[in-house]
Structure 1
Amino acid sequence: MILEACILTVKPGMEEEYEDAFKKASNLISSMNGYVGHELQKCIEVKGKYILLVKWNTIEDHTIGFRQSPEYQEWRKLLHHFYDPFPTVEHYENVQLS
């Protein structure tokens, strides 16, 4: 399983509108092949800062399956205008400790 992690900075004063739009966008991502789950967390110390964590079966489920889909285009329309700066997306895999 792959964990996609994004630190999101929402433009000042747009947090409530962003959270409403994200609720709509959640339906898009959750319908994708390889999607396992996601959560959006709001930072306590910094207003307008969020972290998005999405679990995928494979990295290609995100980078190809979602990013090259019509659903991603709708996702972009719903969310991308809220970000400043535009977020960096990173992918992580579990470290087996035993």
Structure 2
Amino acid sequence: MILEHALLSVIPGKEADFERDFRTASAIISSMRGYIRHTLSRCLEQPSRYLLLVEWETLEDHTEGFRGSADYERWKALLHHYYDPFPTVEHYAQVPLHAKEEDRA
């Protein structure tokens, strides 16, 4: 499992519109091959900042499958105009902390 991490800085004053459009965009990402689940959290200290976490089966499900799909163009049209600056997206793999987890990795 791969965890996508994106810190989203939304243009101040556009938060409600962003959240509305993100609800629509959620249907797009959740229909992608390899998608597991996602969450969107709003920062308490900086209300124009959001944390998007998406779990994918593989890195390629996100970088090639989702980003290479026609549906990604709709995702971009719905959301990308809200960001300033444009977010950096990073991917993480879980570190096994117990012997049983190492056997599954």
TM-score, normalization by structure 1: 0.99
Letter in 1 for 2:31: S
Measured after TM superposition, the shift of residue 97 of structure 1 is 1.6
2:2 is matched with which residue? 2
Q: What runs of 5+ residues in structure 2 fail to find an aligned partner?
A: 99-105
Q: What runs of 5+ residues in structure 1 fail to find an aligned partner?
A: none
Measured after TM superposition, the shift of residue 37 of structure 1 is 0.2
> Aligned partners of 2:97 and 2:6: how far apart in 1?
25
| Greater radius of gyration (CA) | 2
TM-score, normalization by structure 2: 0.92
> Aligned partners of 1:67 and 1:33: how far apart in 2?
11
Aligned-pair RMSD on alpha carbons? 0.4
Measured after TM superposition, the shift of residue 62 of structure 1 is 0.1
> Aligned partners of 1:3 and 1:20: how far apart in 2?
24
Give the paired residue count. Answer: 98
Question: Displaced runs of 4+ in structure 1, greater than 6 A?
Answer: none
Letter in 1 for 2:67: R
